[in-house]
Amino acid sequence: MNHSKPIAIIKTGSTFPQISAHYGDFEAWIHRGLGSATGVMVIDAQRGGPLPALSELAGVVITGSHAMVTDQAPWMRTLMRWLYILVHEAVQVPVLGLCFGHQLLARTLGGEVADNPMGLEVGTVALRLTGAGRQDALLGAIAGHPWAQVVHRQSVLTPPPGAMVLASNGHDACQAFRYGDRVWGVQFHPEFSADVMRAYLQALRGEGLTQQQVDSHLPEVRECDDASTILGRFARLTAAQVA
C-alpha cells in the first residue's frame, strides 16, 4: 500500500447525532472500509475550507449527506467545480461517490438528479448488476451477493453522457455507474453495517417512515459483506495507480 499520498474523504454531511454518538460518523466508517493502513485526509466541504491540490491525492471518496443535490448550495457548487477539474485533468486519481456523492458526481458530469418518483428507498435491498457491472473492478465484488444498504430520497434519474450503468433495481434505474475507467458513483452505502442501517430506520420513524414501515423493514436488514469490500477494493486500486 502506498503511503506517500492519502485518499481524500470529502465530507458532505453528518449522520444523525444519536447515531454518531454510538457508531461514529461517515468518515470513520469509510476509513474503516478503506483499511487502517490507508492514509486519509478528511475535508469538510460544508465548512467551505480549501480543497486539496489534485497532485497531493491518491484518490477521492465523497461521502453521503442529508443535504439534497438539488438545493445547489454554494458549497456544493464549489465542490462540483473542483470535481469537474479532478475528473477531467487529474487522470490518474480514482474517484468514488457514495449516495449523495454519487448524485453530486452525476450532476457534475451532466446527469440529472431529482426526487425519485417512488419516494424514499431505505433498508437492505437487492440490486441487479449489468454485464458491465459484473466485470467491473469494484462492482464485481457483489456479483454473487448483490445486496446493499440504502437510504435516499433523490436519485440519478439520467446518468451522465458516456457513463456506464453498473447496477439497478426496481426503485432506481441507476444504482451505480462508472465514468471512464476510474470514476464511480454508487447510490448505496458500502460503509454501513447492519447495525447502522437499523439505527437509520429507527431514526427515520416519524421523519419519513411510519412505525409500520420501520417494523416491516427491520427484519430484512442483514450484513452486506460483499458490498462492504468495495471500499477496500477502491483503496487497493488507488495504491496500484500511484505505485
Would you name the residues annotated as active-site residues? 99, 189, 191
* CA–CA separation, 190 and 227 (whole Å): 5
Contacts of 192 by beta carbon, 8 Å cutoff, 6+ apart: 29, 149, 200, 224
* CA–CA separation, 84 and 71 (whole Å): 19
* CA–CA separation, 151 and 111 (whole Å): 20
Contacts of 90 by beta carbon, 8 Å cutoff, 6+ apart: 54, 55, 57
Cα distances from 83 to residues 36, 88, 208, in angstroms, run 25, 8, 31
| Integer-rounded Cα radius of gyration of the chain | 17
- Cell 449527506 belongs to which residue? 65
Of 182, 146, 150, nearest to 167 (Cα)?
146
Counts for the chain of helices (H) and strands (E), in that order: 8, 12
